[in-house]
């Protein structure tokens, strides 16, 4: 071995530096002395307060095993000639092509340069440096390791940025898919935690509805909590002045004044601006204490998307509430023109939702049945009032006319692309079909009748029997239950009847929720 490689003339600094963590360096060489002097020469090496962790292998095959076992290694010091003349070159090829490790820096070292000419090796193999052992003094080794670690650090930083941007995109998509204010703050925290890898989660999201018109001294007076978690769980609707301590109030004011994100200790206060509605403030605690520049960039991007997502949730809720109210009002208007009361449609909707949920329908389908149920008798707008309000039994012609309301209702609602209206059309048409096939308008039976219609049919009859009408008196619960059981397998789906009978206590609560 060349004496120059023993670094006898190099000077070493005895200063002790406090370190945190280490960089993994793989040494793959069949000469034990090379391992020993390499570790000696780099024994006091530190980079960004991290020392070197040396891991040794003495053959190309052992080197391949180390690459698989330590994918987070930063550098490999790789001999060319070991068990074969090109063992090191085969390891380098394995690293890039089979192990798919593009991050580790490969420093090829050889004591026989003629065996693997530098130009040929650099061209044909994806290595990062090529050194002859005869030229690799301690100082040159220090230099090549330092430059390689800097390159590795930058590659890792770029990869973290790429992963961070990917998480931002996924987080934004997830938040934009949320259509409930109850879920919104949970979604914000979950996704921001994913982006930053946070631990403790404790946050609240507040809005300033008069942000544009306020003076700086008045800002805090207009902030009210609209969603909260953790220690702030019970503060929704309260003024920030009644919720925050002095330190946090100052941080809020700073974020508002500078329209920025303020970091203090383990929390942040982010100002979220909007072009369309009131601006907002997002407060989150439990952050890592060493939030870096890259993470702060991700937080800023995320905060911008939070405001847009919040407005999206607001808009979605407003649209859904408006649609739901219109359906209820339309159903109530029809019922009030006939023999029913306005609250009949609300009770039917809630009973239908209960039956749908307990019968195994998805959450979305159960909600759809609830929202569409008020349209079940929409076809009665086409029935003459003297038939609708007749106190006695209908004659055959009147009964035939009454039966047409199912088809009329379907005609009114068919052709829509809106899920609620489409479900309403099905319910309007089929909710008078009977399980045994004796119903109308098409004489469908069993499961040929849409489950939405079977659910609403049972809910409709149950509620009608329990309340007074112009043609009948109110029935008691026992009498109603007896009739429903008698009609199981005839008029009604037996499975739904069983669910209804097992839910007597819940039914009574629904009956009392919207009394006539």
- Please tell me whether residues 427 and 492 are part of one structural domain: yes
Query: Do both 345 and 278 map to the same domain?
Result: no
Contact 381, 337 (CB under 8 A): yes
What is the phi-psi region of residue 116: left when phi exceeds 0, alpha when psi lies from -120 to 50, beta otherwise? beta
Q: Which of 73-77, 176-180, 345-349 has the lowest mean pLDDT?
A: 176-180
Q: Give the residue carrying structure tokens 């605690």.
A: 285
Contact call for residues 459 and 351 (beta carbons, < 8 A)? yes
Please tell me which residue, 498 or 206, carries the higher pLDDT value. 498
Mean per-residue pLDDT, 132-161 = 85
151 & 184 share domain: no
pLDDT category at 424 given cuts 50, 70, 90 is very high
CATH number, domain containing residue 24: 3.40.50.2300
Q: Do residue 376 and residue 480 come from a single domain? A: yes
Report the range of poorest mean pLDDT among 56-70, 126-140, 142-156.
126-140
Read off the pLDDT of each residue in 49-65 and give the average, rounded to a whole number. Answer: 93
pLDDT(403) > 70: yes
Contacts of 273-279 with C-beta under 8 Å, sequence gap 24+, read 273/304, 273/307, 274/307, 274/308, 274/311, 276/311, 277/311, 277/314, 278/207, 278/208, 278/209, 278/210, 278/211, 278/212, 279/207, 279/208, 279/211, 279/212, 279/307
Q: Residues 497, 369: one domain?
A: yes
**151 and 88 both lie in a single domain:** yes
Q: What is the pLDDT of residue 254?
A: 86
- Answer for the pair 167, 175: CB distance below 8 angstroms, yes or no: no
Last residue in a domain, options 123, 158, 193: 158
Distance of alpha carbon 146 from alpha carbon 105, whole angstroms: 11
Q: What percent of the chain has pLDDT over 90?
A: 39
Q: Does 326 fall in a domain?
A: no
Virtual CA dihedral for 61, 62, 68, 69, nearest 10 degrees?
Answer: 170
| CATH classification of the domain holding 183 | 3.30.450.40
Look at residue 320 and tell me if it is in a domain.
no
- Within-domain flag for 462: yes
The pLDDT confidence band at residue 337, using thresholds 50, 70 and 90, is low
Check whether residue 114 and residue 204 sit in a common domain: no
Question: What's the pLDDT score for residue 352?
Answer: 95
* 309 and 265 together in one domain: yes
Mean pLDDT of all residues in 431-437? 96
User: Going by DSSP bridges, is the β-strand pair 51-57/22-28 parallel, antiparallel, or unpaired?
Assistant: parallel
pLDDT band at 257 (very low <50, low <70, confident <90, very high): confident
CATH code for position 444:
1.10.3210.10
**Is the domain of 290 the same as that of 383?**
no
Distance (Å, whole) CA 143 – CA 149: 10
- Count of structural domains within the chain: 3
pLDDT band at 174 (very low <50, low <70, confident <90, very high): low
- Whether 496 shows a pLDDT value over 60: the answer reads yes
User: Is the same domain home to 351 and 498?
Assistant: yes
Indicate whether 324 belongs to any domain.
no
Determine the Cα–Cα distance for residues 359 and 177; give it in Å rounded to an integer. 26
For 148-170, the pLDDT digits (tens) are: 999 998 888 777 666 655 655 66
Cβ contacts of residue 155 below 8 Å, gap of 6+? 102, 103
Q: Classify residue 38: in a domain, yes or no.
A: yes
pLDDT tens digits for range 356-389: 999 999 999 999 999 999 899 888 888 888 887 7
Model confidence over 9-49: pLDDT tens digits? Answer: 444 444 444 445 789 999 999 999 999 999 999 999 999 88
What's the token pair of residue 167? 């998480």
Q: Are residues 93 and 221 in the same domain?
A: no
C-alpha distances out from residue 190 to 134, 161, 196, 270, Å? 55, 19, 10, 16
Would the pLDDT of 443 be above 90?
A: yes
* 479-488 confidence digits (pLDDT tens): 999 999 999 9
* Residue 380 among the catalytic residues: yes
Closest to 407 measured CA to CA, from 448, 379, 375: 379
Q: Within a domain: residue 282?
A: yes
Q: Which of 247, 282, 315 is the last residue of a domain?
A: 315
What pLDDT is recorded for position 370? 93
Q: How many CB atoms lie within 10 A of CB 237?
A: 9
Name the active-site residue from 64, 380, 429, 444: 380
* 169 assigned to some structural domain: no
Domain boundaries, position 449: 338-513
- Is pLDDT at 79 greater than 70 in this prediction? yes
- Residues 480 and 377 grouped into a single domain: yes
**pLDDT interval class at 202 (50, 70, 90):** very low
* Residue 35 resides in a domain: yes
């Amino acid at each position: 071995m060349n004496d120059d490689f023993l670094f006898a003339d190099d000077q070493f600094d005895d200063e002790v530096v406090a370190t945190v963590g280490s960089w993994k360096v793989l040494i793959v060489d069949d000469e034990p002395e090379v391992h020993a002097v390499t570790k000696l020469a780099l024994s006091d090496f530190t980079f960004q307060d991290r020392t070197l962790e040396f891991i040794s292998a003495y053959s190309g095959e052992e080197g391949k095993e180390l690459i698989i076992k330590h994918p987070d290694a930063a550098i490999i010091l790789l001999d060319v000639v070991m068990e074969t003349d090109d063992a090191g070159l085969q390891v380098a090829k394995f690293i890039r092509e089979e192990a798919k490790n593009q991050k580790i820096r490969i420093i090829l070292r050889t004591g026989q340069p003629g065996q693997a000419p530098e130009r040929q090796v650099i061209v044909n193999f994806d290595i990062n440096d090529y050194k002859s052992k005869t030229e690799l003094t301690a100082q040159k080794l220090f230099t090549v390791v330092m430059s390689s670690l800097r390159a590795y650090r930058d590659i890792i930083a770029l990869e973290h940025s790429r992963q961070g941007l990917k998480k931002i995109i996924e987080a934004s998509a997830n938040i934009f898919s949320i259509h409930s204010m109850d879920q919104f703050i949970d979604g914000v925290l979950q996704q921001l935690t994913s982006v930053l890898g946070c631990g403790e989660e404790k946050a609240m999201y507040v809005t300033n509805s008069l942000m544009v018109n306020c003076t700086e001294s008045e800002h805090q007076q207009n902030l009210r909590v609209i969603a909260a978690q953790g220690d702030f769980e019970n503060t929704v609707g309260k003024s920030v002045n009644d919720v925050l301590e002095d330190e946090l109030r100052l941080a809020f004011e700073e974020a508002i004044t500078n329209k920025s994100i303020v970091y203090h200790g383990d929390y942040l206060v982010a100002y979220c601006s909007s072009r369309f509605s009131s601006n907002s403030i997002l407060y989150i605690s439990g952050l890592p204490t060493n939030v870096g520049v890259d993470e702060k960039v991700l937080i800023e991007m995320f905060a911008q998307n939070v405001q847009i997502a919040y407005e999206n949730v607001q808009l979605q809720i407003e649209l859904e509430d408006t649609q739901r109210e219109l359906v209820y009002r339309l159903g109530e208007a029809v019922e009030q023109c006939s023999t029913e009361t306005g609250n009949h449609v609300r009770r039917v909707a809630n009973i239908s939702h209960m039956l749908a949920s307990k019968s195994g329908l998805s959450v979305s389908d159960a909600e759809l049945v609830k929202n569409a149920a008020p349209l079940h008798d929409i076809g009665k707008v086409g029935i003459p009032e003297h038939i609708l309000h007749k106190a006695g039994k209908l004659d055959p012609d009147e009964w035939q006319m009454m039966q047409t309301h199912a088809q009329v209702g379907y005609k009114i609602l068919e052709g829509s692309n809106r899920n609620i209206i489409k479900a309403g059309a099905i319910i309007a048409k089929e909710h008078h079909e009977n399980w045994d096939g004796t119903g109308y308008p098409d004489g469908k039976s069993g499961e040929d009748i849409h489950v939405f219609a079977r659910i609403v049919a049972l809910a409709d009859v149950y509620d009608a029997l329990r309340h007074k009408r112009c043609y009948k008196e109110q029935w008691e619960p026992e009498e109603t239950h007896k009739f429903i059981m008698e009609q199981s397998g005839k008029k009604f789906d037996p499975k739904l009847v069983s669910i209804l009978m097992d839910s007597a206590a819940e039914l009574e609560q629904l009956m009392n929720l919207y009394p006539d």
